[in-house]
Structure 1
């Protein structure tokens, strides 16, 4: 679905620029306990190695209110160190429609490619939420902090992804558990209905924990960023990071591993 942005953005360049440009990296995410928007952020912040100043400038370019709201911090789970994107958002009580969010993205200072990817992600999310509730995508409302949180996770992830511009993005099959999650509509089963809606054609595998492993934001990002699913790609690893979300699963692995490097032929 929607792989047109990132199928082979660099495939035509290799023959002409072999000496003056390194080939585009391969990016993989191995989702041991699933994926969420903040895990995407932590992983891509580590892969791009963006400086605090550049991060601040990028946040302000998305939306001035997001200034200073993301910090990459060390986090330990079961004595294993990793990274976590700590997010502190201002309180806003606006309900935004898809049209509101798309115009906000269009009016902001992100790169054109970042804008296109973020708009595509939000459109997929609105289509999925709409299908669940019997609404058209235009009728879907993104509520309050949830809306701001999604804007941050999606826009920043898309901008960082464009900065990396991998030639391939490979995700592991997604871990799925049974259980439930509390939301505005009460107690709902997992995977959340919007995730379920986007799961067509996506490889999944059982997860020993219980509860939500993959969030709607992460699912929409995987689809919009053109993820292919499978084992580790052939690559020479140059950067890697173990990242944690806010949830900790007992008796099950925690976190996701991001790695990127040069493509290899074996």
Structure 2
């Protein structure tokens, strides 16, 4: 059975997942074409390329937001906890995929309902749509629980931001493209310390991340940084059928996806291992 294993020794985020899958041999050009079905491609450009993190060659994936996106959608500080961990510079308030981050008013955010409609109307194949919807639902329920709102009332400044939509649906497209039948994952290190989001200074893991990881083994880690983002946590929580050590498998391909932060003593990458299990 074709199995994908997330080796999250430095945490997990949406952009790290896509970088690792591309590094393992997935086709980003086909993903880019599929994503055009969302009719959002005027709002972003995608880039990917090789970087070296603490001696490991890995793939860095970025969503670069266009000025059209800046005018029409919210990138408020509520999104910062989503990807702040992967900033190279120590600007913890920056937008993950857009270093020229400018806060905007809240009226441009996408709602959970709008995201679901966009996925349903995009005519993705069934497995891509199902994976994407399940991941968004996981995050939406967590955000709703924290803020005391029903799912249909949840506004996604965080997850509705264009880069997170691309990260989640892009990951689903690549996993489907690779013919993955089963997903497993290591325990998830969340990191420690504090982060700034639009509601103030919050502990790590952020409340939404911790809510998403209910029922998922969390690994202890003394790194004072956000290692698992809500998107990364939801991708692993929804897709992985089992959490533990590397399963017995015949390894076919390995990929390393880079975050933007650099740590002194270990590479800030997500490793994916793809192969055949019994």
RMSD: 2.0
Task: From the superposition, tell whether residues 197 and 101 of structure 1 become closer, same or farther in structure 2 (CA, over 3 Å).
Answer: same
Q: 3-state SS of the aligned residue for 2:12?
A: coil
Matched, 1:161 2:175: yes
1:45 aligns with one of 14, 18, 22:
22
CA distance in 2, matches of 1:250, 1:183: 25
Corresponding residue for residue 200 of structure 1:
214
Corresponding residue for residue 53 of structure 2:
77
Q: Say if 2:250 and 2:275, in contact at 8 Å, map to a contact too.
A: yes
Corresponding residue for residue 135 of structure 2:
121
Kindly report which structure 2 residues correspond to 1:100-249, keeping only aligned pairs within 5 A, or say none: 100-143=114-157, 147-249=161-263
Q: Which ranges of 4 or more aligned residues in structure 1 deviate by more than 3 Å?
A: 250-253
The offset of 1:151, in angstroms, is 0.9
User: Larger C-alpha radius of gyration, 1 or 2?
Assistant: 1
Q: Say if 2:193 and 2:225, in contact at 8 Å, map to a contact too.
A: yes
Deviations 1:10-48 (A, max 9, x none): xxxxxxxxxxxxxx4111111111000101111222335
Q: Say if 1:33 and 1:207, in contact at 8 Å, map to a contact too.
A: no
Q: 3-state SS of the aligned residue for 2:24?
A: helix
Instruction: State the TM-score, normalizing by the size of structure 1.
Output: 0.83
Q: Say if 1:59 and 1:67, in contact at 8 Å, map to a contact too.
A: no
* Unpaired runs of at least 5, structure 2: 74-107
Corresponding residue for residue 29 of structure 1:
6
* Unpaired runs of at least 5, structure 1: 1-23
Q: 3-state SS of the aligned residue for 1:106?
A: helix
CA distance in 2, matches of 1:211, 1:81: 22
Corresponding residue for residue 60 of structure 1:
36
CA distance in 1, matches of 2:63, 2:179: 24
Instruction: State the TM-score, normalizing by the size of structure 2.
Output: 0.80
Equivalent residue pairs, number = 240
CA distance in 2, matches of 1:44, 1:140: 30
